[in-house]
Structure 1
Amino acid sequence: MKRLAVDILVLVCIGSMLGVAQDDHSTSSLQFLASTERAFARVCAEKGIRASFLQFFADSAVAFFPEPAKYKAAIKNRPIPANPLAMSLEWEPQVGGVAASGDLGFTTGPSIFIDNTAEGNPKYYGQFFSVWKKEKDGTWKVVVDIGIETPTPASPLGQPCTEIPEESGREESDALSGEKRDAILVKLESEFGKACKSEGTAQAYLGRTDSYTRLHREKLLPVVGVDAIKRYLANELRVASWSPMGGDVSAAGDIGYSYGSYELAPSHNSDPDEKGYYLHVWKCNKRGEWKLVVDVAKPEPPAEQK
């Protein structure tokens, strides 16, 4: 969304129905979430980036600068733009999903950041990924927002929001305790890291990839699907490791996310040659297998790489 704008502005890497079949429930919940995302974009066009982010972000929402930080706290003491529409941002959700429990969801799609102060109103393209959580009053709020810059539009605006094709097989009533949900996330990230060391990074990713899996990397178009990811990782010989800083899992235990820092090193015991920050979103399929929905990586600026 917005995330590309957040990078450029240095502000931030700038929608339930019950008693129906699971597929209908999932679809209607996603369309409600997508309508919330579109309302977010409309408010941004009317009031500006900062005001819209403050309205649609949860109080504890995390954005990337590129390091993860709580957005509202990070901008609290920053001057309010004299012209809130000097920089504009357009985006829309084109792919998404909502947990069977209806409490956690995600959206992704293309974004266009426009500098209205420069000659020719130059445009910068991006791809956002947002994790949303339903609050106690039933409203959806963004809890994690991250984006990448892309060389060209990843897809044109004006598309519907479609659901990723894999259903979890879990029901809305399949609520898990907070302790069990935390254990799921710890296990997922721990096993992923171990697999990178024992199997190699490419094979570890492919074992957790499905037709809907996306890799978002700076200055590249999204890499989507098993074959595309396999080609992208064919020459990736470095060992990846992650250090989670936060995350959450839906009450139904079918969607979860983790964010934190990452390192890429030439070998197990060598110093990393790339450091940065990541977002992983996971989804459990009907077979009980957890697959990546997205892996977003935002490297630290070169001057900060040590």
Structure 2
Amino acid sequence: MHATGLLLVGLLVVAGGVAWTAAGADGWPAALRELVASERAFARAADEDGIRAAFLSFLAPEGVVFRPRPVPGRPAYEQMPADATALLAWRPVFAETSASGDMGYTTGPWYLKNRRQDPDPAGWGHYVSIWRKEAEGRWTVILDAGIRHGRADHLPDAVTVARSGQPVHPDEIPFSGLDAEMSRLAAGSGPAAAFRQLASADLRFYRDRTLPVIGRDKSLALLPAAPAAWSWRAEGQAVSADGSLGYSFGILETRTAAGDARPALQHSYLHIWRHNADGYRLVLDLTVAIPAAPAP
């Protein structure tokens, strides 16, 4: 889920935990500038044309949205009334692209008013949108997800960006095995150990009802330390042309331990992976609970 009307105060770069202000946009890769501009155009379209029209304009044909399960995005918005009066506003505060410039993501705060004229929003949260650059040069959204949290009025307006990852060496471990490796590590050593081994130091950790947590060490405190039957089952994944950035999404099932007779809790998850010298590392983890089916 995905504010508009806010000017960019500064462009910051994050590298090794240090942020500094860039002296204008000329020094940045064109893909990064295009990505942030596309996200702002998306938000502006939602403000000017409405939520339905904006999403149908910017979603890729095979785009996915979380409802809360991952579902095809365009049918979900085609079913929305064209004259809906709700206002959904958002703004990017963080962005990253692949080194090849064909894939990227942005994230930032959103708020929702049930009616545009309402004095106060009805909800707040953070979104994550994954974008792909099409052959003709236009950027489209291939996955959109988000979390809800309480009101947050003092979030930064500036956009910070991460340095792109490194292209994949030909003998690199296949990208497709990363979620399975997380499941194996969680079962043997605990979810916290799995994240400690596979997450980047600048991990962004998204959970409902709380503001995003930035940093692997802070995130570990929110994860079980004991071995647990956490299983990430990918339903889709993609990687940039050079392998420097990729994502996977699907269903996370959690049990306290293997053999637990209780039904597993289910969550939709999104993982974004950056390739560096030490392999793929998780840079964003988003999980949204799926309500349990009512008892018969």
**What does 1:185-224 align with in structure 2 at a 5 Å threshold?**
185-224=175-214
Structure 2 partner of 1:252: 242
Report the TM-score when normalising by structure 1: 0.81
Find the aligned partners of 2:195 and 2:113 in 1 and give their Cα distance.
35
Structure 1 partner of 2:54: 52
Contact 1:109 1:128 in 2 (8 A): yes
Q: CA RMSD in A?
A: 2.6
What's the CA shift string for 1:122-155, capped at 9, x where partnerless? Answer: 3311100011001111100000000000112285
Q: Structure 1 residues 26 and 117 mapped into 2: Cα distance closer, same or farther (>3 Å)? A: closer
Q: Structure 1 residues 301 and 226 mapped into 2: Cα distance closer, same or farther (>3 Å)? A: same
Structure 1 partner of 2:35: 33
Shift of 1:209: 2.1
What's the CA shift string for 1:207-240, capped at 9, x where partnerless? Answer: 1222321111111111110221122225676431
* Structure 1 residue runs without a partner (length 5+): 3-23
Q: Structure 1 residues 241 and 79 mapped into 2: Cα distance closer, same or farther (>3 Å)? A: closer
Return the letter of the residue paired with 1:282. Answer: W
Shift of 1:117: 6.6
Q: 1:168 aligns with which of 158, 162, 165?
A: 165
SS in 1 for 2:33: helix
Return the letter of the residue paired with 2:158. Answer: P
Shift of 1:289: 2.1
Contact 2:99 2:164 in 1 (8 A): no
Q: 2:223 aligns with which of 233, 253, 271?
A: 233
Percent sequence identity over aligned pairs? 31
Structure 2 partner of 1:278: 269
Q: Which has the higher strand share?
A: 2
Return the letter of the residue paired with 1:33. Answer: L
Structure 2 partner of 1:99: 98
Shift of 1:27: 4.1
Return the letter of the residue paired with 2:218. Answer: A
Structure 2 partner of 1:64: 66
Q: Structure 1 residues 122 and 25 mapped into 2: Cα distance closer, same or farther (>3 Å)? A: closer
Find the aligned partners of 2:228 and 2:153 in 1 and give their Cα distance.
27
Contact 1:126 1:154 in 2 (8 A): no
Establish whether residue 291 from structure 1 lines up as the match of residue 281 from structure 2: yes
Find the aligned partners of 2:153 and 2:130 in 1 and give their Cα distance.
19
Return the letter of the residue paired with 2:125. Answer: G
Structure 2 partner of 1:267: 257
What's the CA shift string for 1:90-127, capped at 9, x where partnerless? Answer: 11111111111111111101111112278644331110
Find the aligned partners of 1:305 and 1:125 in 2 and give their Cα distance.
31
Return the letter of the residue paired with 2:279. Answer: E
Q: Structure 1 residues 304 and 255 mapped into 2: Cα distance closer, same or farther (>3 Å)? A: farther
Shift of 1:284: 0.8
Return the letter of the residue paired with 2:284. Answer: V
Q: Structure 1 residues 277 and 169 mapped into 2: Cα distance closer, same or farther (>3 Å)? A: closer
Q: Which has the higher helix share?
A: 1
Aligned residues: 272
Report the TM-score when normalising by structure 2: 0.83
